[in-house]
């Protein structure tokens, strides 16, 4: 491939990217496209293959099949050149514990070439590590390392920022700061590919998502489109939920019936819901509550990934996208 940058090529494209470890297909024919200006959420449960996919995109892991392109360049074929304009980290950012924060950045800037070294002071300021930069990274907290990871990425003045679970392990204030920073960087025109298993994070930040489960992309597209596809669900509470559950399960046009959070969750067209309410009354089951609920991203996510929502979502109030 030539040395000229294919301008206009999207920041990230994956073509049937696959990785097999022995019998395990960790990543199974992942296709996705991140367009310039996206804050792209790469969403999936732990172990879904997100990190392996990101490593393949950055040329750290050789795909078993398929390939990835960053701004039109394949890192497996073009090596470091394919990473021009690309920065970020996979899993936790790692540094040399025996060097100071600043020394680590100086080394990375040297490996970046260009004018990266001139940005060291400003990126340290940006992530609020300037006063601690004289200390060895070995003594840094997890949150400080995450911030140093962002600083190290910004040294490259990237056009594409790849962040793997950037808020993991941060305290609530740290998470908020991290999201604020990502939003700010995106506001300056940096394309962001953000991997996460945390729905609120993706919901808050991202406009487009790929949802992965067991190595496969189960949805790729805009969040709004995903929600629209999800349809409306209802929440039902009665004075005899056991009987109501049985009736609802048998009622025509009613789907996804299950006990949920001290009530019953179900979905269906308005007419079917109306018929169900009459059937409940006739059977002597009194309705205490019957309210429509827009599907939350959380519900859609669990539907797509086939996991039980009560497991992970219980304490996590996720607002419906309106």
> Contact positions toward other proteins, by CB under 8 A?
5, 52, 55, 58-62, 79-80, 83-99, 107-108, 110-114, 119, 122-123, 125-126, 152, 154-159, 184-185, 188-190
Nearer to other proteins, 55 or 132 (CB): 55
Q: How far apart are CA 47 and CA 26, in angstroms?
A: 8
Shortest approach of other proteins to residue 29 CB, angstroms?
Answer: 19
Nearer to other proteins, 86 or 266 (CB): 86
Q: Which residue has the tokens 């919901």?
A: 203
Nearer to other proteins, 118 or 261 (CB): 118
Nearer to other proteins, 83 or 223 (CB): 83
Shortest approach of other proteins to residue 275 CB, angstroms?
Answer: 55
Give the three-state DSSP class for 152. Answer: helix
In DSSP terms, 88 is beta-bridged to: 162
Q: Which DSSP state fits 171?
A: -
Shortest approach of other proteins to residue 180 CB, angstroms?
Answer: 12
Nearer to other proteins, 114 or 292 (CB): 114
Shortest approach of other proteins to residue 157 CB, angstroms?
Answer: 5
Burial of 287 (0-12, 13-18, 19+ CB in 10 A): middle
In DSSP terms, 13 is beta-bridged to: 33, 69
User: What is the token pair recorded at 213?
Assistant: 């489960």
Nearer to other proteins, 99 or 279 (CB): 99
In DSSP terms, 196 is beta-bridged to: 43
Kind plus residue range of the DSSP H or E element containing 310: helix 309-313
Nearer to other proteins, 79 or 252 (CB): 79
Q: In what order do the strands lie in the sheet with 254-260?
A: 254-260, 263-268, 232-238, 287-294
Q: How many residues does the structure list for the chain?
A: 322
Shortest approach of other proteins to residue 125 CB, angstroms?
Answer: 8
Nearer to other proteins, 58 or 244 (CB): 58
CA 139 to chain centre: 29
Shortest approach of other proteins to residue 184 CB, angstroms?
Answer: 7
Shortest approach of other proteins to residue 170 CB, angstroms?
Answer: 19
| DSSP secondary structure letters along 21-51 | ETTEEEEEEEEEEE-TT-EEEEE--TTSSHH
| DSSP secondary structure letters along 61-128 | S--SEEEEEETTB-HHHHGGGGGTTEEEESSS----TTSBHHHHHHHHHHHH-TTGGGGHHHHHHHTT
Shortest approach of other proteins to residue 214 CB, angstroms?
Answer: 18
């Amino acid at each position: 491939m030539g040395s000229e940058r294919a301008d206009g090529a999207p920041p990230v494209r994956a073509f049937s990217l696959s990785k097999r470890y022995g019998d395990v297909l960790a990543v199974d024919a992942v296709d996705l496209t991140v367009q310039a200006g996206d804050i792209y959420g790469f969403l999936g449960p732990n172990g879904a293959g997100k990190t392996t996919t990101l490593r393949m995109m950055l040329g750290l892991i050789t795909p078993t099949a398929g390939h990835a392109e960053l701004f039109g360049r394949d890192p497996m074929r073009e090596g470091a050149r394919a990473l021009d304009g690309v920065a970020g980290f996979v899993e936790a950012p790692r540094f040399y514990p025996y060097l100071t924060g600043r020394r680590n950045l100086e080394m990375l800037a040297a490996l970046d070439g260009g004018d990266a070294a001139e940005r060291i002071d400003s990126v340290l300021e940006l992530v609020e590590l300037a006063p601690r930069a004289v200390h060895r990274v070995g003594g840094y907290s997890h949150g400080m390392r995450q911030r140093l990871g962002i600083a190290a990425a910004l040294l490259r003045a990237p056009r594409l920022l790849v962040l793997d679970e950037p808020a993991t392990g941060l305290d609530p204030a740290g998470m908020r700061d991290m999201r604020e920073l990502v939003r700010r960087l995106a506001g300056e025109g940096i394309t962001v590919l953000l991997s996460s298993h945390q729905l609120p994070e993706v919901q808050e930040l991202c406009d487009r998502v790929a949802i992965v489960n067991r190595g496969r992309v189960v949805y790729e597209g805009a969040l709004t489109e995903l929600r629209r596809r999800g349809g409306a669900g209802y929440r039902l509470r009665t004075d005899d939920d056991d009987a109501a559950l049985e009736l609802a399960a048998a009622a025509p046009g009613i789907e996804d019936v299950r006990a949920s959070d001290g009530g019953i969750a179900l979905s269906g067209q308005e007419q079917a819901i109306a018929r169900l309410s009459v059937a409940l009354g006739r059977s002597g089951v009194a309705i205490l509550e019957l309210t429509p609920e827009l599907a939350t991203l959380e519900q859609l996510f669990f539907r797509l990934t086939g996991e039980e929502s009560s497991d992970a979502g219980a304490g996590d109030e996720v607002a419906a996208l309106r």
